[in-house]
Structure 1
Amino acid sequence: MSASKEEIAALIVNYFSSIVEKKEISEDGADSLNVAMDCISEAFGFEREAVSGILGKSEFKGQHLADILNSASRVPESNKKDDAENVEINIPEDDAETKAKAEDLKMQGNKAMANKDYELAINKYTEAIKVLPTNAIYYANRAAAHSSLKEYDQAVKDAESAISIDPSYFRGYSRLGFAKYAQGKPEEA
């Protein structure tokens, strides 16, 4: 049985809601998640209060998004399909120095975001992407910085890049939904 778009959207809203309720995120972050939840529920045609009802009738009864993703990531390598569209990058995955440099740039970008210096954040995330272009987080973070500057076309491109790199990375979808909603395209969010 495959999940409906509404059920997947409800899982995302439920996940965001639990983060906000547990105060696992800053106040600004909580505000952003509330906007994202409103956008998602509007785009998929349900009220936020209806999430538990939607999930109660779905195949996800009692499960949370994080649990589902964690169990999916435990699929043995032999069961995963080969992706014919994988592009080989000449950066060794286990190159600790490369990863550390990219992570340091990401952290500098995060610090710039916290200080509301969005241009600097974009520059730092761009540098991180140049160092390690296969990390979806860097694209999603840069999408958030572009959205903060109301550069929604760029935010959409970065969010789509994040999703294409890692389709299971939920923030790519939330960044895309926010940018599409801000462009006045909630039906595409």
Structure 2
Amino acid sequence: MSELKRLAYSIIDFLREQTRSQAWNSDERESLEVAMQCLENVFKISSRDIHLAVSPPLTEIFSAAVTKDLIWNTPSGFTPSAQDAIRAEQLKNEGNNYIKEENYRAAVDSYSQAIELDPNSAVYFCNRAAAQSKLNNYTAAIEDCKRAIAIDPDYSKAYGRMGLALTSLNKHSEAITYYQKAVELDPENGTFISNLRVAEQKIGEASSPTGAGLGVDLASLLNNPSFVSMAASLMQNPQLQQLMSGMMSNAISGPAAGVGGLTDMGSLIQAGQQFAQQMQEENPELIEQLRNQIRTRSFSGSNEDQS
């Protein structure tokens, strides 16, 4: 019975991972939830029973089996016929066009057909990974990147796309490893370099209480003399002073504070908008620098070309 419980726990863990990483509709998600609840009830287990977990997890076991079947079990020296190779390339190009049209499901289908005809192409797997990521199927994208890397260990784009998929699952430490390999293989690729830097910043933010989760580096901002000077100047504005006074009065006395208190979110938003507008008027160059900082902290690769 204990072995059955461990198997049931592994299946539940696998299904739970799929619900997080795949783009299911409401009916599909509900069916998965019911399946997990049934297993928990039958075997009287829950997610808290971590002592039942197996290593490696079922996800990795399944992925390894699929990868082995599709790549390592391909007959030695397998070469598609000339006709199949031509058709596979046509399907790949169709997939690329679907990507440009943002028809990602059709792209996945085209790449999958190409893979059936020629399972030795790292490009087909890597392109399908890009389409899977667009559909938020990050686990599937990771598996396709693994297959591409197994076929061609020097294919930099596969490492880069692996990093993007891992980043989307908030696995920044793992993503850094793949970005580093991508940069090593293609040191002139600005996208790889930019994504590596952002992933490293994410790790830094996670370990630092200062500025965590913000779009800008708060510590650097507060140490910027231009920003501090501008903020101090703006705070002398009588209208802003009235709004801030009202907010402080409301914080002390509650929503029943006198006229001028910030009694709703709209007033707070209004204060913020006025402050931002005056900052823009006072120092547009600094505001543009902050905007550029936010842009560079966003990951590149959303419009990456296909091979």
Deviation at 1:99, TM superposition (A): 1.0
Choose from 112, 128, 132 the match for 1:142: 128
Write out per-residue CA displacement over residues 108-162 of structure 1, whole angstroms, 9 at most, x where no aligned residue. Answer: 1001001000000000000000000010000000000011111111110101110
- Give unmatched runs, 5+ long, in structure 1: 1-84
Please state if 1:123 is matched with 2:109: yes
Aligned to 1:180: 166
TM-score normalised over the length of structure 1 = 0.52
Q: Residue 171 of structure 1 aligns to which amino acid in structure 2?
A: K
Preserved CA contact (<8 Å) 1:143 1:158? yes
Query: After superposition, where does 1:1-189 map in structure 2 within 5 Å?
Result: 87-89=73-75, 93=79, 95-189=81-175
Identify the residue that residue 50 of structure 1 maps to in structure 2.
Answer: none
The higher radius of gyration belongs to 2
- What TM-score results when the alignment is normalised by the length of structure 2? 0.32
CA distance in 2, matches of 1:169, 1:111: 22
Question: What is the rounded CA distance, in whole Å, between the counterparts of 2:148 and 2:115 in structure 1?
Answer: 11
RMSD: 2.0
> Which amino acid is the alignment partner of residue 156 of structure 2?
F
Report the CA distance shift for 1:91/1:127 in structure 2 as closer, same or farther (over 3 A): farther
Report the Cα distance in structure 2 between the residues aligned to 1:99 and 1:88, rounded to whole angstroms: 16
Aligned residues of 1:147 and 1:179 also touching (Cα < 8 A): yes
Classify the secondary structure of the residue corresponding to 2:102: coil
Q: Percent identity?
A: 36
Residue 87 (structure 1) shift: 4.9
Higher relative contact order (CA 8 A, sep 6+): 1
> CA–CA distance in 1 between the matches of 2:150 and 2:79?
18
Partners of 2:138 and 2:165 within 8 A in 1: yes
Q: Contact 2:88–2:118 (CA<8 Å) still a contact in 1?
A: yes
Structure 2 CA distance for partners of 1:183 and 1:132, relative to 1, 3 Å: same
